[in-house]
Amino acid sequence: MPAAATPKALTKAQIIAQLAEKNELTKKQIAAVLESFADLAYKETKKNKKFTLPGIGILKLNKRKARMGRNPATGEAIKIPAKTAVKMTVSKACKEAILGAQK
């Protein structure tokens, strides 16, 4: 008996096609808007350490402290250096739209 197939995420081309159809624009126009939006998000997050994606969430730069860890192959203790990472916080509106209102 085959396992139930998991749904696949939309590809960039599928996202562009759906947005173009819904907004009555060409795929080329939508692709340009998405590229511009992504560039803006990268630049603003780098410059201001934060970028809000309206209705979706917030991109933030997050500083992580140096810490001790373990090599899973050998069990040897290793030092993990401090670094900056990008973190995405999902907005309340996005959570409620996807999961419904939860108590």
Identify the domain containing residue 39 by its residue range: 9-47
75 φ/ψ angles, rounded to the nearest 5 degrees: 80, 0
CATH of the domain at 57: 4.10.520.10
Classify residue 1: in a domain, yes or no: no
pLDDT of residue 7: 83
pLDDT of residue 56: 95
pLDDT of residue 78: 94
Cα separation, 3 vs 102, in Å, equals: 30
Task: Tell me, yes or no, whether 54 and 89 share the same domain.
Answer: yes
Task: Tell me, yes or no, whether 25 and 68 share the same domain.
Answer: no
How many domains does the chain contain in total?
A: 2
Write out the chain's pLDDT in tens, 103 residues: 556 677 889 999 999 999 999 999 999 999 999 999 999 999 999 999 999 999 999 999 999 999 999 999 999 999 999 999 999 999 999 999 999 877 6
Classify residue 85: in a domain, yes or no: yes
Task: Tell me, yes or no, whether 54 and 85 share the same domain.
Answer: yes
